[in-house]
Amino acid sequence: MRQRIALILAAALALGGAALIPGVHLFLTGQEDAVIVEEEILYGDPTAARGLQVTLGVECGVGGTDLLWDTVFTPGETAAASTDFTALPWGQHREMTEEEELRVKFASPSLVYAGPTDDANFWQPQARNGRLYLPARDAASRTGPGEERRETLDLADYYDVYPVHLSAFFNHFYNSNYADMEQLTEFFRIPVPEGTMMEVTVSRNEEGLLEDASCRGETGLPKIEVPLFTDSYAYLFFDPTGGDQAVDVSQIAGGYGLFRLDYHFSYDPAPWMTLDNIETVLPVEGIVRGVTVRDGELLVFSEENGMLWMSVLEAEGGEVKQRLEILPVTGETPFHEAISLDQGVLIWLVGGQAAVAEKDGGIWRVALTGDLSDAALAPYFSDGAHDDDRWYGSAAAFDGERLAVLYTLPSRETTSLPDVGLTVLDQTGAPVFAARYRRSGHFDQSSRGLLNYSPGPYHWTEDPSAILAFS
């Protein structure tokens, strides 16, 4: 079953004449420019998706100009289709919000210092703070005037545990004072494995002053994630299996899990961040995979003893309010991500298993589970998707009974925007509707190269904020 939905570009375009959008000249030849969406129903009836509205955002970069449009349609209802089209002048882009970020990380091998200066100044606290400076200082002790020395050294010969570096960006740049470094390092206490080799370079000028010293290499340490950062506290987590080798977390004070930092900012005379406390607020006997912040709560997803758990914490005080079993997990189907919905969160496992957790009367519960893998959906329909197509970069909606998932499909034609798939599951997790949507654009080919719908020199991207909503 196919329906063609004509979506008219709602811009300042005049039929039979020329239109001017600031920064972009469009020359039309009497044809109305339109975007066409073709719906191919693969399974079920559109009534199973009643009340669902689909919004697709598209951005086209043409030279220095961005062409943007949002297409809105309702499955099976052509009357609901519309497109809002805009063009941003040269040099203007979608408004970006500046993220306030706390950067807490295990010290990566990095430049220690660049001179020239004497040894006393070279190894002052500002130069060595949070840096792997000890191997470089050792190599410098064997470097004479006018020499450059390169050595490969084992970091474990110099450090028992990794030094931890802390810096913050919050309206202004803040850096931690030096005592904080020792407190963080002593809290995390991540051992340095033997055989962690560093490339050290040291050079002195003819007068014997140090000109440069560096210590570079791969530590295999995981990235620390910061899901929530305020002006007085932050939460941190990391996956100890995310590096080249498993990280020993047995020495962390309070145990491995979700960590909380409390701090304050001051000017003395420059802006400084002082750490007041660090603690493990949620010990985890497994792996913390992700954290979602929602309505003043932290939803912490962890894999423990073959089960994916969701722990609910009150963000302001850090109290654990609830622990909820979500889905069984194995090594082949770990947690991927959680998507915030109007009524809860959608939890994805790698491979296609999914669950919706919903808050009811202040208590979270699992409201729906389903399997969106290609193998599970094959008895009902086939849309050409691979397993990861449905859980990578998708949008979703949940109305308390139905789960709708929108995802990008492999395109049948290289000259068009990617096809889009839509699947609706009922409360039992069974599919009740599925469709494939192909979009094409009719931009007048005689237009002077600006709105030519082809891959050519243009860069087409799907807006990651595609929206699904039940009315």
Q: Is the pLDDT of residue 234 over 60?
A: yes
Rounded to 5 degrees, what angle do the CA atoms 7, 12, 14 make? 85
Query: Does the pLDDT at position 157 exceed 80?
Result: yes
Q: Which of these ranges, 199-208, 309-318, 415-424, 452-461, has the smallest mean pLDDT?
A: 452-461
Please give the C-alpha separations between residue 325 and each of 158, 335, 428, 449, 458, in angstroms, as whole numbers. 44, 13, 18, 55, 46
Q: Which of 97-101, 104-108, 177-181, 392-396 has the lowest mean pLDDT?
A: 97-101
Share of the chain above pLDDT 90, in %: 37
Average pLDDT over residues 273-290: 92
Q: pLDDT of 92-126, one tens digit each?
A: 555 544 444 555 555 555 556 666 777 777 776 65
Give the chain's mean pLDDT.
Answer: 76
Cβ pair 29, 19 in contact under 8 A: no
More confident residue, 210 or 465: 210
Q: How confident is the model at residue 4 (pLDDT cuts 50, 70, 90)?
A: very low
Distance CA 201, CA 138 (A): 11
Q: Would you give the end-to-end CA distance of the chain in angstroms?
A: 25
Tell the residue number behind the tokens 């094409």, with chain if given. Answer: 440
Q: Which range (76-80, 380-384, 449-453) has the least confidence?
A: 449-453
**What distance in Å separates the CA atoms of residue 258 and residue 341, rounded to the nearest whole number?**
23
Rounded to two decimals, the pTM is 0.79
Checking if the pLDDT of 326 tops 80, the result is yes
The arithmetic mean of pLDDT across residues 280-309, rounded, is: 95
User: Residue 92 has what pLDDT?
Assistant: 54
Q: What is the mean pLDDT of residues 177-206?
A: 85
Range in 165-179, 251-265, 305-319, 451-465 with the lowest mean pLDDT: 451-465
Residue 9 pLDDT > 80: no
pLDDT over threshold 80, residue 393: no
d(CA 382, CA 338): 25
Confidence (pLDDT) at 461: 36
Q: State residue 219's pLDDT score.
A: 81
Predicted confidence (pLDDT) at residue 457 exceeds the cutoff of 50: no
Of the listed ranges 120-134, 213-227, 365-379, the one predicted with least confidence:
120-134
381 contacts 392 by C-beta, under 8 angstroms: no
pLDDT confidence tier of residue 61, bands split at 50, 70 and 90: low
Identify the band that residue 31 occupies on the pLDDT scale cut at 50, 70 and 90.
Answer: very low
For tokens 């002195």, name the residue: 204
Task: Please give the pLDDT value at position 108.
Answer: 53
- Tell me the pLDDT band of 87, cut-offs 50, 70 and 90: low
